[in-house]
Amino acid sequence: MRVLVVEDNADMGAYLGQGLREQGFAVDVVTDGRQGFDYASTGVYDLLILDRMLPGEEGLQVLRQLRARGIQTPSIFLTAKGTVDDRVLGLDAGADDYLVKPFSFAELLARIRVVLRRGTEAAPPVLQVADLVLDPASRIVERGGQRLELSAKQFALLHYLMRQAGQVVDRTMIQEHVWNYEFDGLTNVVDVHINRLRNKVDKGFDRPLIHTLRGVGYVLREE
């Protein structure tokens, strides 16, 4: 999943970016409200984490403008402005949650899980294709009852493929959801990661689930 963090404090932005990447998210961090609005307007993000007090454009206004454009990306305000009135303003602006600094990173992760579940009501909390099971909450992946040990990037890639199960996804779609804007799309990194993931998901099992459509992309499905 891909997250946009809009935070003008460089240390806080780096802390959030590192922590979320360690949890398998693809993360972009920007430092002012106008840039945050431009990035969020692309619609490629699964979650927005916004500060309230931002240069260029205040966080409330950023979110109001996004909602006015019909962009309903799940959003969490992460801010030092913590009065009841502040919380009400944030939620009324269209935020899905409001967390006050200082905060526990474990609590932020818990709130992210809740907001993402709420934002994808049609998707089951636990994903399954054939005998492959992925639990986003516990980050456990099993096939045929056998635990698979995946890196954070492999987990993020498999999570995306399973959310799109049965649908062909091309390299650009994968890049947009699993990598950030620093990714070099001219490399074969996607193919390398797909091959490594296939070795863990399909190797040793009778039926392959990750399929390559030459010149088109990839699909995860039961044949």
Write out the residue range of the structural domain in which residue 149 sits. Answer: 127-220
Sign of CA dihedral 67, 69, 70, 76: negative
The helix or strand, by DSSP H or E, that contains position 197, with its residue range, turns out to be: helix 189-201
- Over the stretch 66-110, which tens digit does the pLDDT of each residue have? 999 989 899 999 999 999 999 999 999 999 999 999 999 999 999
Q: How many domains does the chain divide into?
A: 2
My answer on whether 81 and 152 are in the same domain is no
Is the pLDDT assigned to residue 125 strictly greater than 90? no
Coil vs helix vs strand at 191:
helix
Distances (CA, A) of 91 to 27, 84, 94, 95: 23, 11, 5, 5
Percent of the chain with pLDDT over 90: 70
Q: Are residues 211 and 168 in the same domain?
A: yes
pTM of the model: 0.67
User: Do residues 18 and 112 both lie within one domain?
Assistant: yes
Q: Please determine, for residue 143, whether its predicted confidence score (pLDDT) is greater than 80.
A: yes
Cβ-based neighbours of 207, under 8 Å, separated by 6 or more: 130, 222, 223
Domain boundary among 60, 88, 119: 119
114 shares its domain with 143:
no
pLDDT of res. 122 = 45
Q: Is the pLDDT of residue 117 over 90?
A: no
**CA gyration radius for the chain?**
18
Task: Give the CATH number of the domain where residue 203 resides.
Answer: 1.10.10.10
Q: Which of 119, 137, 157 is the last residue of a domain?
A: 119
Mean pLDDT of the chain: 90
CA distance 124 to 12: 33
Residue 56 exposed, middle or buried by CB count within 10 Å (0-12, 13-18, 19+): middle
For residues 85 and 134, state if they share a domain. no
* 108 and 154 co-located in one domain: no
Report pLDDT for 173. Answer: 87
Q: What mean pLDDT comes out for the span 38-66?
A: 93
Q: Residue 181: which pLDDT band, with cuts at 50, 70 and 90?
A: low
pLDDT band at 42 (very low <50, low <70, confident <90, very high): confident
Boundary residue ending a domain (89, 119, 149): 119
Which tokens hold the place of 147? Answer: 């635990």
Answer yes or no: do 105 and 132 share one domain.
Answer: no
